[in-house]
C-alpha cells in the first residue's frame, strides 16, 4: 500500500480527466429533449406596463415587429398567445402609454405588429417584448437591432408551461 | 510658444469643441427625445470635453496661462466635471429610472454602462482625493489621482465609443482620440510613481 494516495502523477491524471469531463459537457444534467425555453433577458422588463391592449397597429406604423411563439420541448407552434411590445420610437418614449401595444399569434405561432420606427435610446436601438399571460412562464425580451436603420425586428419565444 | 503655435492650439481646440457640439446639436435623434434626456446627453459631452481640458491645463500646455492660474482652472473644471456627471446620470434617471438603476447596480444589458459607472465612481474618487490632498500627502495623492483619472479616461472612452446616441461619430472619434492622447502623454511624462521617499545610500 503506498503511503500517499495522491502522488504527482495520479494528481495530474485525475485533474486532467476532470477537466476533460467538464469541458466535454459530460457533466451537464440530462436535458428534456428538444427545444429549451427562452430565458428572460436582462433589462427586458424595463418600462413594462402590464395589460397593454391588443391593437391592430401601434401609432402610425412603418416598422414591423415579427416573430414566433413555440412550446419548449416539442417546439409546437402556440396560437392565440398574447405578446406585448413596447419601445422608444419616433412617436414616443418607452414609458409612454402610446408606445405600448399587444398582438396575438396566429395558428402557426407567428405574430406581426406594425409600430413606429424604433430609434436608439440609452445607447442602443432596441425593442421590448413580453409574454405575461400566465399559461406559460413569463418571459421578457430586449432584442437589440443590428442597425438602427433596420425597419423590422424578428424575435422568437419558446415558452415553458407554468 | 510661438505665435503660430498659439494660433494652432486655439484654433484646433475651438474646432474640436465647436465640431463636437455642432454634430450633437444637429443629430436627428434630438427630435425624438425629451428635453431632460437631451440635457443629460449634452452633460455627458461636456464631461468628455472637461476630460480633454484637464491634462492640457495641469501640464501647462495652454499658451500664456501661468501655472498657478492653470491649476486654479483645473480645480474649477474638476468641479465642473463632477457636476456634469451628476447632471448626466440624473437626467437619464428621470428619462428611464429602471435603466439607470440597472446600470448603477452593474446588471445592465448594455455593455457600455458598466464602463460609464466605473468612470463615474473614479471621477468622484479622484475629486475626493484632490480635496483631501493635504491630508494624504503630496506623493501618495499624485499617484492616486493619476491612477484614478486613468480609469476615468479609459472607462469614459469605451463608454462613449460603444454608444449610439448623443454624439456624432466623427466628432466622437476625434474627441475620444484627443482625450486618450492627452492621457497617454501625461502618463508618459508622469514622474511621481515612487510613493515612498528614496532611501539614502
Say if CB B9 and CB B64 are below 8 A apart: no
Q: How much is the pLDDT for A7?
A: 64
Question: Quick one: pLDDT at residue B193?
Answer: 84
Give the CATH number of the domain where residue A117 resides: 2.60.130.10
Mean pLDDT by 10 residues, chain A (162 residues): 57 58 53 83 96 96 97 96 97 95 97 97 96 96 96 97 92
Q: Which residues of A touch B163 (CB under 8 A)?
A: 123-124
Minimum Cα–Cα distance from A146: chain B residue: B164
Residue A50 lies in a domain: no
B164 contact residues in A (CB cutoff 8 A): 120, 123-125, 148
pLDDT at residue A27 in the model: 55
Nearest CA-CA partner of B60 in B51, B69, B49: B69
**Closest Cα in chain A, distance from residue B94 (Å):** 11
- Nearest Cα neighbor of A98 from A63, A58, A132 is A58
Q: What is the pLDDT of residue A1?
A: 47
Q: What is the pLDDT of residues B61-74, one digit of tens each?
A: 999 999 999 999 99
Asked, for residue A141, whether it belongs to a domain, the answer is yes
- Is B44 inside any structural domain? yes
Cα–Cα distance, A42 to B84 (Å, whole number): 28
Nearest to B163 among A47, A88, A123 (CB): A123
Write down the mean pLDDT value for chain A.
88
Chain B partners within 8 Å of A119 (Cβ): 29, 32
CB A129 within 8 A of CB A85: yes
Number of domains in chain A: 1
A92 belongs to a structural domain: yes
Closest chain A residue by Cα to residue B102: A43
B66: cell is 501661468
**Residue that the C-alpha cell 480609469 belongs to:** B151
Across chain B, mean pLDDT equals: 94
Residue-range definition of the domain harbouring residue A78 = 63-159
pLDDT digits (tens, 9 = 90+) for A34-78: 899 999 999 999 999 999 999 999 999 999 999 999 999 999 999
pLDDT for the residue numbered B195? 75
A153 occurs within a structural domain = yes
Residue A98 counted as domain residue: yes
Amino acid at each position: 500500500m503506498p503511503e500517499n494516495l495522491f502522488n504527482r502523477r495520479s494528481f495530474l491524471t485525475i485533474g486532467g480527466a476532470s477537466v476533460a469531463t467538464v469541458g466535454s459537457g459530460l457533466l451537464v444534467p440530462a436535458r428534456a429533449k428538444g427545444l429549451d425555453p427562452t430565458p428572460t433577458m436582462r433589462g427586458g422588463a424595463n418600462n413594462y406596463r402590464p395589460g397593454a391592449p391588443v391593437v391592430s397597429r401601434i401609432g402610425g406604423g412603418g416598422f414591423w415587429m415579427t416573430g414566433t411563439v413555440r412550446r419548449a420541448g416539442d417546439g409546437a407552434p402556440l396560437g392565440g398567445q398574447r405578446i406585448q411590445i413596447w419601445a422608444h420610437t419616433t412617436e414616443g418614449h418607452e414609458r409612454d402609454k402610446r408606445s405600448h401595444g399587444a398582438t396575438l399569434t396566429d395558428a402557426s405561432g407567428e405574430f406581426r405588429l406594425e409600430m413606429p420606427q424604433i430609434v436608439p435610446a440609452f445607447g442602443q436601438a432596441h425593442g421590448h417584448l413580453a409574454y405575461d399571460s400566465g399559461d406559460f412562464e413569463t418571459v421578457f425580451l430586449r432584442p437589440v437591432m443590428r442597425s438602427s436603420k433596420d425597419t423590422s425586428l424578428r424575435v422568437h419565444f419558446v415558452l415553458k408551461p407554468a | 510658444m510661438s505665435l503660430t503655435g498659439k494660433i494652432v492650439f486655439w484654433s484646433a481646440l475651438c474646432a474640436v469643441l465647436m465640431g463636437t457640439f455642432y454634430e450633437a446639436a444637429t443629430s436627428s435623434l434630438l427630435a425624438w427625445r425629451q428635453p431632460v434626456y437631451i440635457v443629460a446627453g449634452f452633460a455627458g459631452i461636456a464631461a468628455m470635453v472637461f476630460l480633454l481640458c484637464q491634462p492640457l491645463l495641469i501640464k501647462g500646455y495652454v499658451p500664456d496661462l501661468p501655472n498657478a492660474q492653470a491649476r486654479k482652472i483645473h480645480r474649477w473644471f474638476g468641479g465642473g466635471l463632477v457636476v456634469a456627471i451628476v447632471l448626466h446620470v440624473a437626467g437619464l434617471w428621470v428619462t428611464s429610472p429602471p435603466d439607470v438603476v440597472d446600470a448603477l447596480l452593474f446588471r445592465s444589458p448594455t455593455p457600455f454602462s458598466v464602463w460609464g459607472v466605473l468612470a463615474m465612481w473614479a471621477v468622484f474618487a479622484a475629486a475626493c482625493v484632490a480635496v483631501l490632498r493635504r491630508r494624504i500627502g503630496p506623493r501618495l495623492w499624485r499617484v492616486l489621482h493619476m491612477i484614478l483619472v486613468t480609469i476615468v479616461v479609459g472607462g469614459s472612452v469605451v463608454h462613449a465609443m460603444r454608444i449610439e446616441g448623443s454624439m456624432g461619430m466623427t466628432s466622437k472619434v476625434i474627441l475620444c482620440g484627443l482625450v486618450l492622447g492627452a492621457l497617454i502623454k501625461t502618463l508618459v511624462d508622469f514622474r511621481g510613481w515612487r510613493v515612498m521617499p528614496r532611501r539614502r545610500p
